[in-house]
Every structure is written in C-alpha cells, then in structure tokens.
Amino acid sequence: MRITISGSPGSGTTTLGKALAEKYGLRYVSAG
C-alpha cells in the first residue's frame, strides 16, 4: 500500500506522515 501526502513546506506533511506510519505500523519514506 502506498499513501502519499503532499503540501507546501511547513504545512505539517512530515509530522502527519510520521504519525500515520507509527499508528498503523507502516514505513515512512521521505521523498524530499
């Protein structure tokens, strides 16, 4: 499964991505 989250810098996308990864036991990968 792939989940992508996009947004402008400083909008909290990294924070959201890491929180979702931790909650659901997924791997977090940063593309930027």
Confidence class for position 1, pLDDT limits 50, 70, 90:
confident
pTM, to two decimals: 0.78
Query: What is the residue-averaged pLDDT of the chain?
Result: 94
Query: In which band, very low, low, confident or very high, does the pLDDT at 15 lie, cut at 50, 70 and 90?
Result: very high
d(CA 25, CA 7): 23
Q: Is the pLDDT of residue 18 over 80?
A: yes
What lies within 8 Å, CB to CB, of 4 at 6+ separation is: none
